Amino acid sequence: MESSYMRKYDHFMGHLSVLLRAPKEDISNEFIVSGIIDKFFIQFELGWKLLKEMLAYDGKSISASGSPRSIIKASYECYDFIEEEIWLDMLQDRNDMTHIYNKSRAMELVNKIIQCYIPAFERMGKAVQKYQES
């Protein structure tokens, strides 16, 4: 695989290793909650950009100018490890939380990150590794 593709994968996995600590953190602490949300934002950006790089590697024209939504939808069509609904939810949550800070909404998001989004990132990381090896 190309070096930029591998670099994006390495950044994705390195950042994920930090986000994986979220379930062990004290989510009653607002600072921790903010940190988990910030790490999720970065992980999501790394994720959709890795998908974009994969699409480019596979010669898909959408990769040249695709928005996060179009990259997610195209990735769902191409790769069996992308759960379209979960990734579109991530996009929506990322967009919603960048403009509004509400403590109860932040807690809902942290719980969703821990229960749903981190496992999706893990599944993607494992699948991309297998994809690289094939």
- C-alpha–C-alpha distance, residues 125 and 13, integer Å: 7
Q: CA 19, 22, 25: angle at the middle one, nearest 5?
A: 145
- C-alpha–C-alpha distance, residues 122 and 13, integer Å: 9
98: DSSP letter:
T
Higher pLDDT, 98 or 115: 115
Q: CA 54, 60, 66: angle at the middle one, nearest 5?
A: 80
pTM of the full predicted structure? 0.92
pLDDT category at 69 given cuts 50, 70, 90 is: very high
Per CATH, is 3-133 categorized as 1.20.120? yes
Domain ranges of the chain: 3-133
Residue count of the chain: 134
Token pair listed for 128: 């991309």
Higher pLDDT, 121 or 105: 121
Rounded mean pLDDT of 10-23? 96
